Amino acid sequence: MTLRGRYVAYIAVVHLVFAALAVALVRSHALWLFAIELAFVVSLAIGIKIGRDLFRHLGFAAEGLRLIREQEFTSRFLEVGQPEVDELIAVYNRMVDNLREERTRLREQEHLLSQILAVSPSGVVILDFEQRVSDVNPAAERLLGRAGGSLRGLRLDALGSPLADALGSLPPGGADVIALGGTRRVKCHHGTFLDRGFARSFYSIEELTEELRQFERAAYEKLVRVMSHEVNNSLAAGNSLLHSCLNYGHELSAASRVDFEQAIGIVIQRTEQLNGFMRRFADVFRLPPPVKQPDEIVTLVENIVRLLSAREDTAGVTWRWDAEDRTLRVPIDRGQMEQALLNVLLNAVEAIDGAGTITIRLSAGPGRPKLMIEDTGPGMAQEAQTNLFTPFFSTKPQGQGIGLTLVQEVLSGHGFDYALERLPNDTTRFTIVF
């Protein structure tokens, strides 16, 4: 029974008792009838007045609960002149004011956070309690290869992305730098937070490719500059002394003079080769900014292929073309791009060891044009794929690690994206995105 029902029942019972008492008194003392009726009327009036006040105040409480339940925090109650009730109303008004201000502050912060995440270059992925993606920002969609597509509701292992697989293998609190296709590097962190007392996971993904490249470039540039200075100074003085020593060859016997001149000549030749090696490295890091002019990509590549086809070690190479638009023109520095593409195609020739197929593909779109050079060589080991663009690193026994470093500098200077990857059929593909 509700409070209102109990109150009405109480008033009815009490006044029924009054009525029975009045009947009994009237039989023995008729004069008491008027007094009892007056008391009855006064009591009923007082009870009704108290009941109305009570239920009106209880109505405030019921309305307050309804407003809280509906999260309506803009309504406030006015004081009614009863100290106890007015104190309760004041507490309620302060509470809803604080709740309204807190809700407004949280909504503003949530809006700010959503705007920051939307434009942030760092990716953020938040999982729900079932390890499914609940929130993801555009940068994370792009890094995961699903730009413009919804990832919400999917598990990481269902995305079919190497980056997603790497994220799923990170333990809570773990961080790692993950290598993607080509030279791309991303730093990933697996964090956790509490939601209603239970742990949930989130991942942050930060692109480090350009930052690492600039850092490596500055470090190697300084190293090469110091080495070049010291080596060239020493070699210049040493070669001068060696040439002077050759002038004393006539003082030796004929048999001894031949050995002497050959030994000195070998040393001079080797020091000149070392000097050239250091000079080529220094030139890589001294590339001028590209002077771009629109040029036909197919014509440029054809000239390089014609040059390489004249070599004896390319007699067994089959060249294949798959160009969607042979007249495609791209703004490039022709001299720099010729040198970069020569290195890429020469690497493809050496990879197939003079016998195999090199396919040159040119895609005009949609999106940015792409040049892809594929060879049927044995492919690359994982270690090689990770370190190919690192200066001084080479998979060739006599390699100096300059070629791909030069390619990287030229393409980065042009603002082109690039990647060297091993395809599932062991074909190696170098891709340039103009």
Along the 434 residues of the chain, how does pLDDT read in single tens digits? 554 566 566 667 766 776 676 666 666 665 666 666 676 677 767 766 666 665 566 666 677 777 777 777 777 777 767 776 777 778 888 888 888 888 888 888 888 888 887 878 788 888 888 888 888 888 888 888 776 667 788 888 888 777 888 888 888 888 888 777 656 778 889 999 888 888 899 998 887 766 656 666 666 666 666 666 566 666 676 777 777 777 776 677 776 777 777 777 777 776 776 666 666 666 666 677 888 899 898 888 888 888 888 777 777 888 898 888 888 888 988 888 888 888 888 888 888 877 888 899 988 877 788 899 988 877 665 555 555 555 555 555 454 456 677 788 788 888 888 888 777 777 788 888 88
Q: Is 365 inside a domain boundary? A: yes
Q: How far is CA 254 from CA 62, 190, 259, 261, 266, in A?
A: 122, 76, 9, 11, 19
The verdict on 322 and 356 lying in the same domain is yes
Q: Is 258 inside a domain boundary? A: yes
Q: Is 110 inside a domain boundary? A: no
The verdict on 195 and 216 lying in the same domain is no
The verdict on 273 and 319 lying in the same domain is no
The predicted structure's pLDDT at residue 304: 84
For residue 156, what is the DSSP state? G
Q: Where a domain ends, among 250, 284, 318?
A: 284
The verdict on 199 and 218 lying in the same domain is no
The verdict on 152 and 99 lying in the same domain is no
pTM for this one?
0.49
Number of independent structural domains in the chain: 4
Domain that holds residue 273: 211-284
Distance, CA of 85 to CA of 83 (rounded, Å): 6
The verdict on 297 and 426 lying in the same domain is yes
Q: Where a domain ends, among 181, 207, 233?
A: 207
Distance, CA of 419 to CA of 385 (rounded, Å): 10
Number of helices followed by number of strands (H, E) in the chain: 11, 12
Distance, CA of 373 to CA of 255 (rounded, Å): 55
Q: Is 297 inside a domain boundary? A: yes
Q: Is 114 inside a domain boundary? A: no
The verdict on 8 and 92 lying in the same domain is yes
The predicted structure's pLDDT at residue 216: 63
Q: Where a domain ends, among 207, 233, 248?
A: 207
Q: Is 109 inside a domain boundary? A: no
The predicted structure's pLDDT at residue 388: 57
The verdict on 64 and 13 lying in the same domain is yes
Q: Where are the alpha helices (DSSP H) in 172-208?
A: none
* CATH number for the domain that contains residue 303: 3.30.565.10
The predicted structure's pLDDT at residue 69: 77
Distance, CA of 190 to CA of 204 (rounded, Å): 7
The verdict on 165 and 194 lying in the same domain is yes
Rounded to 5 degrees, φ, ψ at 424 are -55, -30
The verdict on 257 and 353 lying in the same domain is no
The verdict on 31 and 50 lying in the same domain is yes
The verdict on 202 and 215 lying in the same domain is no
The predicted structure's pLDDT at residue 213: 63
The predicted structure's pLDDT at residue 387: 53
